Amino acid sequence: MNDIKQFLRSNALRPTKQRIIIAGYLFDGTNKHVTAESLSTELAKRKHTISLATIYNTLHDFYENGLLKKLTLSADRVYFDTNTGDHHHFYSEKEQFLIDINKKIKVNGLPKTPKNKKINKIEVIVHLDK
């Protein structure tokens, strides 16, 4: 609890009730993939009612501060990942199936990066079916 407060403060985030609850859930040591909606549902199960607007705000605040990764897997919702390390994903759109690939992956054969640009990150998504 106090460590969560410290954690938030050390990331320039005022430790409000809501942020403490959300951070407590997200950063409990196990990696998670959440959407605003799934997070809201999860918190509701724990009898915490935080407005959706705040959930969106908080996810973005955490993201802006590098505490979450944003995943663009399907066009109809945004996923946030508590695993901020360099990693990739198995994903099934149909089944909402999503798991981390933590093994080091090498991408070979990339062409020259376009002029005046630089690579920000390389995202590998392995789409799965049944």
Select from 72-80, 88-96, 101-109, 121-129 the region that touches DNA (CB under 7 A). Answer: 72-80
Q: How far is residue 62 from each of residues 23, 42, 55, 79, 124, measured CA to CA in Å?
A: 9, 18, 10, 13, 23
Select from 22-30, 43-51, 58-66, 111-119 the region that touches its own copies (CB under 8 A). Answer: 111-119
Is 90 a binding residue for its own copies by CB under 8 A? The answer is yes
Contacts of residue 81, Cβ cutoff 8 Å, sequence gap at least 6: 31, 32, 33, 68, 69, 70, 71, 100
Is 94 a binding residue for DNA by CB under 7 A? The answer is no
CB pairs under 8 A, 24+ apart, for 53-61? 54/18, 55/22, 58/18, 58/19, 58/22, 59/34, 61/13, 61/19
Binding mask 70-89 for its own copies (x = CB under 8 A): --xxxxxxx-----------
Q: Which of 50, 68, 71, 73 binds DNA (CB under 7 A)?
A: 50
In the complex with DNA, the residue whose CB is nearer, 60 or 87, is 60
Contact 71, 118 (CB under 8 A): no
Is 64 a binding residue for DNA by CB under 7 A? The answer is no
Instruction: State the number of binding residues for DNA (CB under 7 A).
Output: 26
Q: Which of 27, 42, 57, 90 binds DNA (CB under 7 A)?
A: 57
C-alpha 10 chain-centroid distance: 19
Q: What residues line the site for DNA (CB under 7 A)? A: 9, 13-19, 35-37, 49-54, 56-58, 60-61, 75-78
